[in-house]
Amino acid sequence: MTEAGELESAVAAHDAALAALGLDIWVGNEPTFTDRYSHADEWTAAALGPDKLRRAEQVVAQWGAEQPGCAVLRSIGRKYPGETSPRWSFGLYTRRDGGAAWSGPCDPLLTRKTAPADLDVFQAKLDAAFASQGFARRTFLGPGDRRILVAPDPAAPLPDPAHDGRPSRPSIHGPPTAEKTLRDDLANEGFYLLIVSSREESGQTVACVELPAVDDVALFLLMMSIISGAADASGLPSLILCGFSPPVDASVRWTTVTPDPAVVEINMAPHRTVLGFLRDNRRCYAMAAAAGLEPYRLHFNGAVADSGGGGQITFGGPSPSRSPFFLEPRLLPRLIRYALRHPALSYLFAHDYIGASGQSVRPDEHCADAHGELKLALALLDRHVPSDPATIWSSLAPSLTDPVGNSHRAELNIEKLWNPYQPGRGQLGLVEFRAFRMQHTPERAAALATLLRAILAMLTTGACRAELVDWGAALHDRFALPFYLEADLREVLGDLETANLGLARALRAELENDGCRPWSEIEFEGCVITIRRALEFWSLLGDASNQQGTTRLVDASSSRVELALRPAKDEGAEALGSWQLRAEGIDLPMRAESGAGGPVRVFGVRYRSFAPTVGMHPLLGAQVPVRLLLVNRAKAEALEIALHEWRPDGQAYDGLPADLGAAAERRAARCVRRRIALNQVPAVRPVPLGSLSEYSLDLRYAPASLSDFEPRS
């Protein structure tokens, strides 16, 4: 890890380099947090739950209290297939110039003040306040509430509720409606309906204003000022602001706190600089921790898992029209080529569920035909460089999906670039990188943001032009091993150095600091074997009866480890040639490579780590422990290593690991070793047909009776 000051200096230097190039590339992210100790449904699979709501309210309360002039808004969240109602959504709305977006009574989450709320007085004060600002207005009673209809033009002919049913429409927070019907027809015509009501909140009655849909930030801030003044004049101790989401441009920040399966998701307001991104994320992580939420999960056996959400990073500009992907129309095609050329950007920092049926599918994980169509699309864009956003989006959107056409699960997600099928949210000039796990620290998230932003800058200037690569089988074979992903990342960093956009040491150190994959490192007779968890590409179970809604069942029973041999500190590289590594009695054809630390021999082993209740290959049982044997015929003894998925004694763990350090100790304890005399080493077994690829041995092809390593007394 690096010192905070050194990292901030490195980030500031990166920001200055982009500013010197005249580039304005904004960055945002969506950190997700969970209660890693809870096994309740809301913290393992479900989107909604009472404890999740309570934790989210705690985060909002602390965040709002730390930002004077912040407006807390309770908007309508997303509604997904299979869910009966829209999800809740808290938002924090602030001005970037330091001015107040809200100066009236606080949301009850931020204050303990209580007093009776006279809604008749509040409605009258609102009417008078809008009148003083020259608004046309009409006050009337709604179904169980009070309403005021306003328009900025004092001469505007306001609709009459007696003849026009729209001003008497139900509250959008009332009975669930389909998401596509959540629109404000009155606002589209320049008429703005405010609904005044009351809610029971924590044992007190609180006044509430439901806000209309407003698409202009200046008008919205004026209306907020009018409402806050009227609320103060009415003596309200607190006030809930709800309704439609507010308008956003480069002058304001809009951060939302929402539920997602197993996590609380915080959609951070974007930043012009990574330094601002870093500092805002530090606050975000700290407030989540104060609410008992963490950015990762630890399994009983010490395995480190994602929070349950993701760590997506999004790039755009100060406005849709100023998006870097539109100012330089060749940027997105270049980015697609470059990202496909460098699988490290897809897999090295990824969550667990990757591959063709995962949550961040690469275009080349579909099929050969899909790759060919993408190649043609990129060639046509080169031949006819588009000048309009619609052509860029429509040319590339068909290829940036998962294999069944779901654009949300694409590694490079352009749903919000210039998508006419997502009204209000689709044409923002944004590209989202989805292939990232939730990072454990804000510093590592900032390092990733810097890496991607530097790549975008390099591609914008045309300093690096990559051809489209078809990796074929190597994509899920070679690049399943962390060694090759790390080598690929070094190539990317080299490209940035050549383009004068290189990352400082502190940022590179953050990118290289991956404590999730190491399993064990063992020195034996002048040889060092390093065992790391590798990547696995789990299969979707398309015929399972419980595939429904937003959940999908996968077979996660296959695992892969990376095995690497290096000479010990005082040994020469030539010593490696006399060592042989076996897995379940099969000689592994270790690949001779040169890594950052010198010569190394690398190979992978795949196996079934457990037998699922519902899954693929019902004839295949669990293949654990996996037995390894490290042999050198010049030595008197060999080293036997058993890789267990659980405690070697089969007993239960005493609760979850306390922290990442304790998790690492449990992983190491699952790696059991012992010396055996060379004359007791069993004979080599033949390689099972179909089990060997260029970079891995797949033990799932091996007969069940293959192993000679039986327990000995």
Q: For the segment 585-643, what is each residue's pLDDT rounded down to a tens digit?
A: 999 999 999 988 889 999 999 999 999 998 899 999 999 999 999 999 999 999 999 99
Q: Which amino acid is at 403?
A: P
The alpha carbon of residue 108 and the mean position of all alpha carbons in its chain are separated, in whole angstroms, by: 31
- Asked if 357 and 403 count as a contact pair (C-beta separation under 8 A), the reply is yes
pTM (2 d.p.): 0.94
Q: What are phi and psi of 662, to 5 degrees?
A: -65, -35
The per-residue b/e assignment along 483-522, b for 16 or more CB within 10 angstroms, e otherwise, is bbbbbbbeebbebbeebebbbbebbbbbbeebebbbbbeb
- Asked if 449 and 457 count as a contact pair (C-beta separation under 8 A), the reply is no
pLDDT of res. 706? 45
Mean pLDDT in residue range 260-283: 97
Residue 66: count of CB within 10 angstroms of its CB: 11
- pLDDT tens digits for 42-51? 999 999 999 9
pLDDT of res. 710? 40
Half-sphere exposure of 71 (CA within 13 A, CB side): 31
Name residue 314's beta-bridge partners: 28, 432
pLDDT of res. 548? 54
Q: Coil, strand or helix: which one is 150? A: strand
Placement of tokens 């490696």 in the chain: 576
* Residue 25 reports pLDDT greater than 50: yes
Q: Quick one: tokens of 517? A: 């994959």
Contacts of 260 (CB under 8 A, 6+ apart): 32, 47, 309
- Asked if 210 and 197 count as a contact pair (C-beta separation under 8 A), the reply is yes
- Asked if 388 and 414 count as a contact pair (C-beta separation under 8 A), the reply is no
- Asked if 692 and 702 count as a contact pair (C-beta separation under 8 A), the reply is no
Output the average pLDDT for the chain.
Answer: 92
Q: Coil, strand or helix: which one is 610? A: coil
- pLDDT tens digits for 26-38? 999 999 999 999 9
pLDDT of res. 2? 55
List the one residue out of 704, 709, 675 whose CA is nearest residue 585: 709
Q: Is the peptide bond before 318 cis (omega within 30 degrees of 0)?
A: no
Q: Coil, strand or helix: which one is 316? A: strand
Name residue 253's beta-bridge partners: 94
Q: Coil, strand or helix: which one is 564? A: strand
Angle between helices 389-396 and 331-341 (to 10 degrees): 30
Name residue 581's beta-bridge partners: 630
The alpha carbon of residue 492 and the mean position of all alpha carbons in its chain are separated, in whole angstroms, by: 22
Contacts of 518 (CB under 8 A, 6+ apart): 530, 531, 532, 533, 664, 667
Whole-angstrom distance, CA of residue 104 vs CA of residue 237: 9
Placement of tokens 């993408």 in the chain: 374
* Residue 713 reports pLDDT greater than 50: no
SS in 3 state form for 164-214? CCHHHCCCCCCCCCCHHHCCCHHHHCCCEEEEEEEEEECCEEEEEEEECCC
Whole-angstrom distance, CA of residue 451 vs CA of residue 433: 12
- Asked if 602 and 481 count as a contact pair (C-beta separation under 8 A), the reply is yes
Whole-angstrom distance, CA of residue 580 vs CA of residue 682: 13
Is the alpha carbon torsion for 359, 364, 365, 369 positive or negative? positive
pLDDT of res. 177? 55
Contacts of 185 (CB under 8 A, 6+ apart): 166
DSSP 700: G
Contacts of 247 (CB under 8 A, 6+ apart): 214, 215, 216, 217, 220
Q: Which amino acid is at 399?
A: S
Q: Quick one: tokens of 256? A: 């939302």
- Asked if 610 and 622 count as a contact pair (C-beta separation under 8 A), the reply is yes
* Of the listed ranges 106-110, 235-239, 422-426, 464-468, the one predicted with least confidence: 422-426
DSSP 697: E
Interstrand relation of 313-316 and 26-29 (parallel, antiparallel or unpaired): antiparallel
Whole-angstrom distance, CA of residue 555 vs CA of residue 709: 28
List the one residue out of 283, 242, 268 whose CA is nearest residue 108: 242
Angle between helices 331-341 and 442-461 (to 10 degrees): 120
pLDDT of res. 543? 57
- Asked if 593 and 687 count as a contact pair (C-beta separation under 8 A), the reply is no
- Kindly write down the DSSP assignment for every residue of 667-681, as one continuous string: HHHTEEEEEEEGGGP
Q: Quick one: tokens of 252? A: 């304001």
* Residue 693 reports pLDDT greater than 80: yes
Half-sphere exposure of 278 (CA within 13 A, CB side): 21
* Residue 493 reports pLDDT greater than 50: yes
Whole-angstrom distance, CA of residue 278 vs CA of residue 384: 39
Ordered alpha helix ranges (H), 557-674: 660-669
pLDDT of res. 127? 96
pLDDT of res. 366? 84
Residue 187: count of CB within 10 angstroms of its CB: 16
List the one residue out of 567, 590, 593, 595 whose CA is nearest residue 580: 590
SS in 3 state form for 386-448? CCCHHHHHHHHCCCCCCCCCCHHHECEECCCCCCCCCCCCCCCCCEEECCCCCCCCHHHHHHH
Residue 550: count of CB within 10 angstroms of its CB: 11
- pLDDT tens digits for 430-463? 999 999 999 999 999 999 999 999 999 999 999 8
pLDDT of res. 705? 55
* Residue 712 reports pLDDT greater than 50: no
pLDDT of res. 597? 83
- pLDDT tens digits for 157-184? 999 999 999 999 999 998 665 445 578 9
* Residue 3 reports pLDDT greater than 80: no
In this prediction, what percent of the chain has a pLDDT beyond 90?
81
Whole-angstrom distance, CA of residue 74 vs CA of residue 559: 43
pLDDT of res. 423? 74
pLDDT of res. 707? 45
What confidence category does residue 112 fall into, taking pLDDT thresholds of 50, 70 and 90? confident
